[in-house]
Amino acid sequence: MRTKRYWLDTGDAAQQPLPSGIADAVTAWIVLPPSSDPTPAQLAAIEATMRLFVEDDLASGVSPRRKIFCDACHQARPMPGFVRYDRYLLCNPCATDYEVARIRGVALTIDQFVHDRSFGAAPEGVSV
């Protein structure tokens, strides 16, 4: 599984890969002031980027039948679209939730998100 690193520099669904390097996560999204709600365009951009991760993995031959364990939801999930954050591997839906929680200022660190999700306290889902 490749690691991924993308920079989302606008709120309009535009994203571009960073030059290859020490990619280890989706590292940068728009930073909003705490309590700001992301715009629909920002949410759409996150979802589009996360879908791209799935598509990239599928294009690279990662089988959707292969499953690995998600550190956040503690379930075996299809491998395409997994994202590594620090020492955690998150399935695509959890990674999406984390990114949304992060730009909302609800989850400031991956440790906090994984802990909260493990105990059922992390914000659920993204509705775009």
Q: In sequence order, what DSSP letters do the residues of 29-89 get, joined into one string? A: -PPPPTTPPPPHHHHHHHHHHHHHHHHHHHHTT--TT-EEE-TTT-SEEESTT-EEETTEE
Task: Give min distance, CB of 88 to Zn ion, in A.
Answer: 10
Whole-angstrom distance, CA of residue 23 vs CA of residue 76: 24
Task: Give min distance, CB of 12 to Zn ion, in A.
Answer: 27
What track of x and - describes contact with Zn ion for positions 54 through 73 (by CB under 5 A)? ----------------x-xx
Task: Give min distance, CB of 112 to Zn ion, in A.
Answer: 16
Task: Give min distance, CB of 72 to Zn ion, in A.
Answer: 5
**Contacting residue, 25, 91, 114, 122, with Zn ion by CB under 5 A:** 91
Of 11, 47, 3, the residue nearest 30 (C-alpha): 11
Assign 90 to helix, strand or coil. Answer: strand
Nearer to Zn ion, 11 or 114 (CB): 114
Q: Based on the shown chain and the rule CB under 5 A, indicate whether residue 94 belongs to the binding site for Zn ion.
A: yes
* Chain positions contacting Zn ion, by CB under 5 A: 70, 72-73, 91, 94
